Amino acid sequence: MLHRLEFLDLQAFILVAELGSFHEAAQRLHLSQPALSRRIQKLEELLEIELLERTTRRTRLTPIGTDFLPRARRMIEEYESSILGIRELATHQKGTVTIACIPTAAFYFLPSVIRGFSEAWPGIRIRILDVSAKEGLEKVISGEADFGINMFSAQSPEVSFTPLLKDPFVLALRSDHPLVDKPRIEWSDLEQVRLITVSRDSGNRILLDNTLSAEGIRLNSFYEVQHLSTSLGLVESGLGVAILPRMTMPGADHDMLCARELPHPRIQRTIGLVRSNSHNISSTAQLFIDMLLERWGNSNCT
């Protein structure tokens, strides 16, 4: 079967999946729509599965098409890498490193490493997938990402985890909030204030809820948002306070927002490097990992 799989058929499928339109994909590939349809049909017949659902208004992936898409992308990337030439690959003149990273960690860990990496290997592209903890784990397991930076709580037997940093939770509030000047924050101080939280399926929310529930602490979760950045925006607007990882907070010179240490029990998340146990790490990705560990591997994780 594999020897009958054509590069252009995979390329056609990926483009239709990304654009959601045969018409637009055909224009990009400089093909007629019937020719493009034949390519997709040939690929589906070869795999003996239906990859796309076609309607008069739109085209979307089937469930198995969704599973196949990252594999198809990886096959294209590997093909493109192979034609770059053995010498370029051996000397790391060309290539791509794909990192699945939770957004807050992307800002914290990656810029300094990317800067140094790009100076050392300017021909290697960096692709950052800034996604949720769950999505990031899935992308590492599927092979769409070479590796990930994720929370320890979002783990699976299919990956290995190398701790990089402990990130404590803090109380985020406006600089003019009454609690700012209190010498020590107690949980009782937060019972009557409006708490801004992220959704219940968030890894950060699960960690917070589990810790507080174990101690019998109940807070007034009044607003719920999807992203930590949104919760900070609501805090800055004076709508309430938030409990979130210190890594998400702006610098100490921010005019409107400040952070206060929380009382016992200490809530913290462990951020680390996630690697698949079933996919081999490319030599190019390993170069980035080595630089990442050199920069962050000695951070305090106790």
Judged against a pLDDT cut of 80, whether residue 217 lies above it is answered with yes
- Comparing 272 with 227, the larger pLDDT belongs to 272
- Comparing 302 with 248, the larger pLDDT belongs to 248
Under the banding of pLDDT at 50, 70 and 90, the label for residue 237 is: very high
pLDDT, position 156? 79
pLDDT, position 65? 92
Under the banding of pLDDT at 50, 70 and 90, the label for residue 230 is: very high
What does the pLDDT look like over 151-190, one tens digit per residue? 887 667 889 999 999 999 999 999 999 999 899 999 999 9
**Residue 48 CB partners (closer than 8 Å, separation 6+):** none
Average pLDDT, the chain: 87
Tell me how crowded residue 74 is: count the other CB atoms within 10 A of its CB. Answer: 17
| Main-chain phi, psi angles of 130, to 5 degrees | -85, 100
- Mean per-residue pLDDT, 239-249: 92
pLDDT, position 12? 93
pLDDT, position 255? 83
Tell me how crowded residue 157 is: count the other CB atoms within 10 A of its CB. Answer: 6
What does the pLDDT look like over 90-141, one tens digit per residue? 556 677 899 999 988 888 888 989 999 999 888 888 999 999 888 999 999 9
Question: In percent, how much of the chain has pLDDT > 90?
Answer: 53
Residue with tokens 């914290």: 108
pLDDT, position 83? 66
Judged against a pLDDT cut of 70, whether residue 295 lies above it is answered with yes
Contact assessment for residue 143 and residue 74, using Cβ atoms and an 8 Å cutoff: yes
Contact assessment for residue 105 and residue 117, using Cβ atoms and an 8 Å cutoff: no
Ordered domains of the chain (ranges, CATH):
7-89 (1.10.10.10), 94-164+270-297 (3.40.190.10), 166-269 (3.40.190.10)
Question: In percent, how much of the chain has pLDDT > 70?
Answer: 91
Under the banding of pLDDT at 50, 70 and 90, the label for residue 296 is: confident
Contact assessment for residue 70 and residue 79, using Cβ atoms and an 8 Å cutoff: no
Asked whether the whole model's pTM tops 0.85, one would answer no
Spatial distance between the Cα atoms of 144 and 276, rounded to a whole number of angstroms: 11
pLDDT, position 266? 87
What does the pLDDT look like over 270-293, one tens digit per residue? 999 999 998 888 888 999 999 999
pLDDT, position 162? 93
What does the pLDDT look like over 39-63, one tens digit per residue? 999 999 999 999 999 877 788 899 9
